[in-house]
Every structure is written in C-alpha cells, then in structure tokens.
Chain A
Amino acid sequence: MHEMALAESILNIVEETARNQGAVRVTELRLEIGELANVEIEALQFGLEVVLRNSLAAGAQVEILTIPGQGQCLECGAMVPLSARYDPCPQCGGYPVRPTGGQEMRVKDILVE
C-alpha cells in the first residue's frame, strides 16, 4: 500500500504550489499515471480522499489521466503498445519488450482559487 505514501507526496506538491501561488483553495487536480507504473488507481484515489481532507485541497476533484504503456521489442525492433511489462511483442510474439513510455507518475496541474 505505498499508494498512501504517493498520496502524501501528491498533497505535498499540490500544497506547496498552491501556497507559492497565493491560492486559498485547490478545486481540481490532475495526475498523469502511466499504465506500467506501480500504482493501483483505486488505492491511490482512496489515499487521496483521506489525505486531502483538512488540506488546501479538501473536496478537490481529482482526475487521473492514464498514459498508455509503450515499448520497443528487442527482438524485431518495433515500437508497440504495452499493457504489462512481461507481455510479448504483438507483432512478432518475441521477448522482451523494453518499456519506453507509460511509467510516469506526475502531478500535471491544479486549478486554484
């Protein structure tokens, strides 16, 4: 359950940014989470629900944007979509496919008042 630690890190980043902006309230926050990132989205949403209470972002709407997984097949060299690290290449059936995208965990932006 490191999603709780991730949620706390998110709150840290959000509050720090909001304060620097002189904001009194954060009404929305958008996250980008890669399909291959080590994150259980539901657990993260629950973690956020808990940590955002009593913060500048209490009641803020959370939107989680998924960045699709992508990789390069080391067998045939093709750039292919990848939904799990151990999936075979959809073009040649080979292994391994090295992830090139979809591992991100980012706070994208916030809407403040």
Chain B
Amino acid sequence: MCVTCGCGVDEAAMHSHDHPHFHDHDHSYDHSHDHAAEGRLVSIERDILAKNAGFAAGNRRLFAERGVFVLNLVSSPGSGKTALLAQTVQILREEFPVAVIGGDQQTARDAERIQAAGAPAVQINTGKGCHLDAHGIGHALEELPLPESGVLFIENVGNLVCPADFDLGEACKVVVLSVTEGEDKPLKYANMFAAAKLMLLNKIDLLPHVDFAVERCLEYARRVNPDMRILQLSARTGDGMTAWLDWVRQGQQAALAQQVSRLEMELTSARARLAASVR
C-alpha cells in the first residue's frame, strides 16, 4: 500500500498492460437503443481524467505551500531537453534549490546526467506508458527532496501527444522544439502547443546547417497559441540562455512571493486568535 494515496502496489507500476490479442475483432460498437426495461440509467457526467486532476490538485497544493515553481517540460524525443536542463540546473542551483523528475520509458540515464550537473534528480520509468501522470509525480516526490522556495523541473516522456492532457500540478508546461525537427510541428501537434505557456526553440546554433524557417515556425506556433511566449536558444553554445534563465527566475520569485503572502496571512490570523484567547 502506498501511504500518500492508498493505492495498491500494482497501481504504482504505471500502466503496464500485457494483453495478447488477435486483430480479427469484429467489435460490436454499432449501437441499438432497444435496451430491456430492467436497465437503470445512471447519469455520471464526469471528466475522464478527473482522478488525475485530483492528484494534480494535491500536488499543486503542496507546491504552493512550499513555494515551489514547477515546470513540466514536454517535447519530442531528441529535442535536447536533458542537455538544456543540465545547463539550467548547473547555473540556477547556485541561486535557489532545484530538483528534477525525469520520465522515460526505460533507463536512468537522464537522471544521471542531471545529477552529474549537481542537482537532485529522480527517474520515473513509465515502462510501456507514454506520459507521466500526477499520481506518478506524487510517488517520485517521496524519493526527492522538495526544492522549497525553488524550482522543480519535470522532464516528461519525449512525446508531443499524450503528455498534453495530463496535468501534473505544474505551474506551466514548457514545450521544447529543436530546429532539427519540422517547422510545422506546432500545427501537427497543436494540442501540445496550445497547452504550453512557453516555447523554447532549441539548437539555434544549427540553423546554418538545416532547412528550418524560423519565422514560419513562430507564425504556426502563434496561430495555435497566440498567448505563448517564445524564446530561441542553444543549450550547447549558451546563446539565448539568459532570457530563459530570467524567465525561470521570475517564476521562482513569484512563487516565493505567493508563499510569503500566504504565510503572512496565516501568521496574522494566528496572532488574532492568540490575542482573542489572551483577552
């Protein structure tokens, strides 16, 4: 049994479904409405991801209490998320606590790269799963020192489809796109780009060597999400890193400021209660 959520051990292993099947299924989804009178119709009207949303809300509450600014980094495989994060935590760990949760189907290689950069990191292996979910994040937090008043980076599984729908309790999603990919990715994976607050166009040092029309890509991205901030950088050369780091610093300061005002309110009401009890 898991102490945080009371889940069984089986459930903690994320979505592994071994189902031998044959592909000749002539399934009967053609619907007829002549159901027998003994049936009872029960209205549910519930979001399919309600359970995940519940866990995400719990994570978000914890992050708010401890003043943690949490980013969910999403991209396709090979966009350079891990290299970017390694550079990022190496600099920011001097300023405030940082930690990384990495999701991959297999291996702990990414976590090792982050640890080598000097930040605590834990790897979630999703096995056959294609995304991280809020429940899995809750479990990862049992193994990771929470970066109080700092920043937690969640590096999602490389996949531009599934992670779009799974709220982890983060402050925002950051989508990373590299110039070695197609410039039309924002259109092809519109749900993901629509869900992100910030887009990082990575590997710009390679622009002279690839056919990638930056302006067209940015236009596609804005078409899908006009409110999204876009920064261009190269984690390898360090070009554009300052703007990204400043963006993270601002988020961290805002989260810290919120934590302070929440604590001040608690303190004020505790003082008021004390004054009332003394009187």
Interface residues of A, Cβ cutoff 8 Å to B: 1-2, 4-6, 8-10, 12-14, 17-18, 21, 23, 27-28, 31, 36, 38, 45-46, 49-51, 61-64, 74, 84-86, 95-96, 98-99, 104-113
Distance, CA A111 to CA B40, complexed state (A): 5
Contacts A5-B15, A45-B29: A107 and B39 contacting too (C-beta < 8 A)?
A: no
Other-chain contact of A105, B32, B44, B48, B133 (Cβ < 8 Å): B48
- What is the interface of chain A mostly: helix, strand, loop, or mixed? mixed
Distance, CA A62 to CA B28, complexed state (A): 9
Whether B39 lies near A85 (C-beta < 8 A) is no
- Chain B: minimal CB distance from A21 (Å): 6
Note all chain B residues with C-beta closer than 8 A to A104.
47
- Among B104-149, those with CB < 8 Å from A are 129-131, 133
Whether B223 lies near A108 (C-beta < 8 A) is no
Whether A5 lies near B131 (C-beta < 8 A) is yes
Note all chain B residues with C-beta closer than 8 A to A28.
35, 39
Note all chain B residues with C-beta closer than 8 A to A86.
186-187, 190, 220, 223-224
Contacts A2-B165, A13-B50, A50-B17: A109 and B191 contacting too (C-beta < 8 A)?
A: no
Whether B51 lies near A12 (C-beta < 8 A) is yes
Whether A74 lies near B226 (C-beta < 8 A) is yes
Note all chain A residues with C-beta closer than 8 A to B230.
none
Distance, CA A98 to CA B222, complexed state (A): 11
Distance, CA A38 to CA B191, complexed state (A): 7
Whether A27 lies near B21 (C-beta < 8 A) is no
User: Does B79 touch A at the CB level, under 8 Å?
Assistant: no
Closest 10 CB pairs of A and B: A2-B162, A85-B190, A111-B39, A105-B48, A38-B191, A95-B223, A109-B43, A107-B44, A63-B31, A86-B187
- From A9, which residue of chain B is reached at the shortest CB distance? B48
Whether A109 lies near B42 (C-beta < 8 A) is yes
Return the CB mask of B25-62 against A: 1 if under 8 Å, else 0: 10111011001001111111111111110000000000
- Chain B: minimal CB distance from A2 (Å): 4
